[in-house]
Amino acid sequence: MNTAVEVRCAAAGGGGVNAAAFGRRMMRPAPAGHCRVIRAAATSTVASGRGEDDYYKVLSLDRAGEVGAEEIRRAYRRLALRYHPDACPPSRRAESTRLFLQLRRAYETLSDPALRVRYDAELMMRVRRPARPAAEEDASSSSSSLARDVWEAQLRTLRARSDERRRHGADGTARRGRWFEV
């Protein structure tokens, strides 16, 4: 489904971004290029049917370099002011809400160190694995493959530990005949 979405923004209508939702009582004009950014994000969200797969792209961050927590926070705050549903006209609130929720999921994942490590590992596995057609891919496939890989790694570790115990005995000493003769 590759449908272009027309998104009106406050910059075109003379309005601004309502910053009251972020603890301030002022109106700020929308930044230049604001409409293009929203339109591009809305088009990619509708086209993919489930939003961006890459949270770094959602937050407009470069994944190649190490991105710090402060950079992630600044990017989230900047984009949250742009995409917040209160800053858009009521006719576009549903699309704005969807984009804002996607932005929020990206921030929550990348700002938590444990979730970020897991997400980065999952992202690397997606890059290594050949792409499947969109019809075959479902939302749980990547998380289930990650879980399966973790489970298989745990099994390998347990098997190796079990083999080691069998060779050396349950109490950690070498069995007779194997290491020394009595």
* pLDDT of 63: 73
What pLDDT, on a 0 to 100 scale, did the predictor assign at position 171? 59
Residue 27 falls inside a structural domain:
yes
As averages over each run of 10 residues, the pLDDT of the chain (182 residues) reads 38 41 44 48 42 79 80 92 86 89 92 88 79 55 74 81 76 56 56
pLDDT of residue 159: 84
Domain assignment present for 78: yes
DSSP 101-161: HHHHHHHHHHHSHHHHHHHHHHHHHHHHSPPPPTTT--TTHHHHHHHHHHHHHHHHHHHHH
Place of tokens 């979730």: 115
Pair 90, 158 in one domain: no
| Claim to verify: residue 144 and residue 62 sit in the same structural domain | no
What range defines the domain where residue 25 resides? 10-132
Same domain, 100 and 19: yes
Q: Are residues 40 and 87 in the same domain?
A: yes
Are both 55 and 124 inside the same structural domain?
yes
pLDDT score at 76: 93
- 81 in a structural domain: yes
Query: Considering the domain boundaries, does residue 26 fall inside one?
Result: yes
Contact (CB, 8 A) for 9 and 34: yes
Look at residue 180 and tell me if it is in a domain: no
Residue 88's pLDDT is what? 82
- Please state, for a pLDDT cut of 90, what percent of the chain lies above it: 12
H-run or E-run covering 16: strand 16-18
Please give the pLDDT value at position 172.
54
In a domain, 4, yes or no: no
Q: What are the residues whose beta carbons fall under 8 Å from the beta carbon of 11, sequence distance 6 or more?
A: 29, 30, 31, 32, 34, 35
How many domains is the chain built from?
A: 2
CATH code (residue 29): 1.10.287.110
